[in-house]
Structure 1
């Protein structure tokens, strides 16, 4: 590594002056002991590892390994508001996912309001006392995930005093619109820990998951991007996605720190879409996160097929963790030319993002419309005939209203807005109004998952029919942008899995395009 530069990890929430260095899925005493020899000081684990009377808890205490305790179950229960709710309503319809879980408690938190209800009948909360316990009745958005604060508070109280506890793990991928629930959970944790000795950590695995980030949600982001697939290694995408995710997050919370979660597992046996990283690829992932200013590193593995039983994965992790313990940093090699070309933010830790012009910062979106079997873009719904931002449509989960959602670097991940298991054969519509300072030719960088139409005013400029994932600027299409106002219209259909699209404008030399103003803008 003669060309490597020593880079310090960003100092935030250290354990005895050592950055957070850890792993998922460290279950047994033997695994804990192996983790300790590798230099780990943190694991994501449950009650057995918190409890000092268990073999696992004793092993963690003996080896100085701290625990991020999971609270995600309090948002991953499959219960959300079916419709927009007014401050006066005393009966509140819910959407119940097929595998939903209900609490025995009769108090829910929605945004800043507490609501006490008498019973649940046929998917409706009945006998609701609005503004319970001195809170203020308010309007709440359809799709908002419910939160039962009493259940969560009881669990926090049971676990909070363990010396093994490092902090709390509250989010792992997007369950839908969980912002209200996550803020309520954060308030409970801070009630017992106002000085933030036990940080709240939330996981973000793609651009769209930043939907569930903002003030009062977490203290540390955990960003994961697994670049090794069975037949390709997308190294450059790790740094690029981290920059875009952090740019959006730090617009909302300047300087929020992050932990890099790197791929240390083989996804082939479980058909997860990932492959087996080499030792070199594991090292490169860690270097790439440190180059972007990470304050810690955590290895992701599933219960099997990870570093725990794969020596070629274990060795580079242990070597890097011991290096960080000794030097507070990592020797990082120069980024590749492709990474440098895609760079939008500076290397290392930064507080507020650089401005990047040309990408659509937000869309007015109406979704999801349920598509009949055998149809895709040819399934017609009211927005195909006319755009009415005040309209309310019927949908499979309840009301559909036009709502404004931010993009992350022009990427609109629709799948993160809903329960991912329920969005097969659905269609979404998105609209952005643009002011252009002059007529000109430009390149439109576009990609979609899956079928998609893009129109500038009434002219179709992009059509894709088929399945596939979103890759920024996958297609670069020359378009003529009129002077003054024009409207972007997108219709995007999901066949299976992920769902979304990306769109931005560039000069003909592929530099970001100046001179465009978008409505809606950033939220």
Structure 2
């Protein structure tokens, strides 16, 4: 009888856990490895016409600063699981958080979403850290990107550009335990997506200094409230 009860308990545990019980997660100790597993949500309408040329001065993005996740408590508070959904009261459209497991370091929203022009979308994951760590979050995006870590906006870059790797360096501090990472990607037209990985803080800063001295190609560097410089 005890073995029967144990078997029944195991059966119930396996088959009654909801599909959204698990969330994607990434270990911060995997330095230099691109994050490929995400929960994604979108696409959200973004009236972002190009007027005249494609320069940033002519670019307008209504969705970049809009908090589409307000029905869930907002971009700063979201902590979704697979299958979580909500309805946008302004459009009546329902959105759901779904898994995206990429086979490539570049996360392609262009191929994932059918609607992929003049839109915005989110990607979310948990970052596990055995202790408090000061790291560089290295991201790339097409087009603009906003990054929230544990609810704090740590990076915001409205830009028109090609999708690539390691174009923005963002110094961040991970808490001991679980950290919430939310990335929002803005899209005008053409390709659409992003990349993200963590790099060693000191090694990256030294590399940047070396690039300055040798006049090599540099990146976007954001250092909290103290430094925000665009190189090249």
- TM-score, with structure 2 as normaliser: 0.58
Q: Which residue of the other structure, out of 375, 379, 391, is the alignment partner of 2:85?
A: 391
Q: Report the equivalent of 2:228.
A: none
Aligned pairs for 1:300-449 (under 5 A) are 358-372=33-47, 375-382=62-69, 385=74, 387=78, 388-389=80-81, 390-393=84-87, 399-408=94-103, 410-419=105-114, 422-449=115-142
Structure 1 segments unaligned to the other structure (5+ residues): 1-354, 511-523
Is the contact made by 1:430 and 1:491 (CA closer than 8 Å) also made in structure 2? yes
Match of 1:469, SS state, is coil
Give the Å deviation of 1:470: 1.8
> Contact 2:41–2:122 at 8 Å: present in 1 too?
yes
Task: For 2:67 and 2:139, locate their aligned partners in 1 and report how far apart those are by CA, in whole Å.
Answer: 23
Q: Would you say the 8 A contact 1:453–1:462 is kept in 2? A: yes
Deviations 1:243-274 (A, max 9, x none): xxxxxxxxxxxxxxxxxxxxxxxxxxxxxxxx
Q: Distance in 2 between matches of 1:403 and 1:476?
A: 27
| Contact 1:410–1:504 under 8 Å retained in 2 | no
- C-alpha separation between the residues in 1 aligned to 2:94 and 2:151? 27
Q: CA deviation at 1:356?
A: 7.8
Deviates more, 1:408-417 or 1:427-436: 408-417
In the TM superposition, what whole-angstrom CA distance separates every residue of 1:486-514 from its partner, at most 9, and x where no partner exists? 1001111111111111100011325xxxx
The 5 A counterparts of 1:154-303 are none
Match of 2:150 in 1: 457
Q: Judging by fraction of residues, say which structure has more strand.
A: 2
How far did residue 381 of structure 1 move? 1.5
- State the 1:407 CA deviation: 3.1
Query: Separation in 1 of the partners of 2:135 and 2:67?
Result: 30
SS at 1:472's partner residue?
Answer: coil
1:485 positional shift: 1.0
Query: TM-score if structure 1 supplies the norm length?
Result: 0.27
Q: Tell whether the 8 Å contact from 1:436 to 1:482 is kept in structure 2 after alignment.
A: yes
RMSD (CA atoms):
2.7
Deviations 1:140-170 (A, max 9, x none): xxxxxxxxxxxxxxxxxxxxxxxxxxxxxxx
* 1:486–1:370 Cα change, 3 Å: same
Higher relative contact order, structure no. (Cα contacts within 8 Å, ≥ 6 residues apart): 2
Gaps of 5+ in 2: 1-29, 49-59, 205-232
Contact 1:448 1:464 in 2 (8 A): no
By how many angstroms is 1:358 displaced? 3.6
- Residues 1:356 and 1:444: Cα distance change in structure 2 (over 3 Å): closer
d(CA) in 2 for partners of 1:357, 1:372: 35
**Higher-Rg member (1/2):** 1
